[in-house]
Amino acid sequence: MADLSTTYLGLQLKNPIVASSSPLSKHVERARKLEEAGISAIVMYSLFEEQIIHESLELDHYLTQGTDTYPEALSYLPDTGSYSLAPDRYLEQVSALKKALKIPVIGSLNGVSKGGWTRYARRIQEAGADALELNLYYMVTDPELKSEDVESAQVDLVAEVKSAITIPLAVKLSPYITSLPNFASRLVQAGADGLVLFNRFYQPDFDLNELEIVHSLDLSTPIEIRLPLRWISILYGKVNADFALTSGVHTTKEVLKSMMAGAKVAMMASSFLQNGERAVAGLLNEMNWWMDTHEYESIKQMQGSMSQRAVREPAAFERANYMKVLSSWRDLP
């Protein structure tokens, strides 16, 4: 049997299959079933900056305003009633998962600005999390805002969060960055121990009859792996961080590809939400079988073997690939 073990953020993991941030971690029992099935770590659903700020605004509102005013900027948030308790509940859930599970539990904060809300990084650590994932989800809509300023603000945020904790920090980022290698190395200089590629953006749609914006959550398909696969391949060996690949990992093939690109772990959400823990045993068996058949002794031996610096054709990850792909189209006779 091949050695499936890997390390991620200094954590020793028995295999590279990690449950990505999702509602699965809201239920201790579901997380325990995933652990029993064989996953090596779990990332919790995110606690959002808005939830934390909302809690303090709400407190302020009751102390100073009376009940008929309400912070308008936050009115768009879902389910504001239950939001107010969210930060405390989140910390309780970190502790509950830690108590129930033997595998590492990675907390998740989701935010964009520096400020008091980042104190929750320390609280998540105190609640027992083994590491923290910081999700930098930001949509720039202001034409006056320069990319350099947006990126610097995010780098500063990473430094602020890092300075509040002693557990390892991973940063989950967007693919829509002009110079991703530069931004990734700035994040690492600011204290990121790991980079999670990528945030999956849910694009709003239009309902033509109702003339309304429609929000639909479509789960991923395996083809989506290609974007993070390409970028981890490019960044591997250039940026000194542990990489986690998320988006489109559904079968053994995607796990193996993630490793070959240079990821330390492959994170899965859609597949587990669709199929539950049933998929895990099959994935692990198939990985063992594939590695034995192809004479790989360990996952570590595989990691980075198809990265840009390792392959015979490094240009396959660059502009030349685009030209080659376009010219591969054959017109109908």
Minimum Å gap between C-beta 48 and ligand FMN is 8
Regarding 46 and contact with ligand FMN (CB under 6 A), the answer is yes
Regarding 108 and contact with ligand FMN (CB under 6 A), the answer is yes
Judged by CB under 6 A, the stretch of 5-13, 53-61, 235-243, 263-271 that binds ligand FMN is: 263-271
The closest alpha carbon to 255, from 39, 37, 12, 24, belongs to 39
Which residues inside 270-299 make contact with ligand FMN, applying CB under 6 A? Answer: 270-271, 273
Minimum Å gap between C-beta 31 and ligand FMN is 14
Regarding 110 and contact with ligand FMN (CB under 6 A), the answer is yes
Regarding 220 and contact with ligand FMN (CB under 6 A), the answer is yes
Among residues 17, 268, 284, 291, the one that binds ligand FMN under rule CB under 6 A: 268
Minimum Å gap between C-beta 254 and ligand FMN is 9
| 92/292 with CB nearer ligand FMN | 92
Minimum Å gap between C-beta 219 and ligand FMN is 6
Regarding 31 and contact with ligand FMN (CB under 6 A), the answer is no
Regarding 20 and contact with ligand FMN (CB under 6 A), the answer is yes
Secondary structure of the chain as H, E, C letters: CCECCEEECCEEECCCEEECCCHHHHCHHHHHHHHHHCCCEEECCCEEHHHHHHHHHHHHHHHHCCCCCCCHHHCCCCCHHHHCCHHHHHHHHHHHHHHHCCCCEEEEEECCCCCHHHHHHHHHHHCCCCEEEEECCCCCCCCCCCHHHHHHHHHHHHHHHHHHCCCCEEEEECCCCCCHHHHHHHHHHCCCCEEEECCCCCCCEEECCCCEEECCCCCCCHHHHHHHHHHHHHHCCCCCCEEEEECCCCCHHHHHHHHHHCCCEEEECHHHHHHCCHHHHHHHHHHHHHHHHCCCCEHHHHCCCCCCCCCCCHHHHCHHHHHHHHHCCCCCC
Judged by CB under 6 A, the stretch of 178-186, 256-264, 267-275, 318-326 that binds ligand FMN is: 267-275
Judged by CB under 6 A, the stretch of 21-29, 50-58, 70-78, 86-94 that binds ligand FMN is: 21-29
Judged by CB under 6 A, the stretch of 60-68, 69-77, 233-241, 269-277 that binds ligand FMN is: 269-277
Evaluate the omega torsion of the peptide bond into residue 198 and state whether it is cis, within 30 degrees of 0.
yes
Residue located via tokens 């770590």: 41
Judged by CB under 6 A, the stretch of 61-69, 77-85, 138-146, 244-252 that binds ligand FMN is: 244-252
Regarding 40 and contact with ligand FMN (CB under 6 A), the answer is no
Which residues inside 152-191 make contact with ligand FMN, applying CB under 6 A? Answer: 172
**Contact set with ligand FMN (CB under 6 A):** 20-23, 45-46, 108, 110, 135, 172, 200, 217, 219-220, 246-249, 268-271, 273
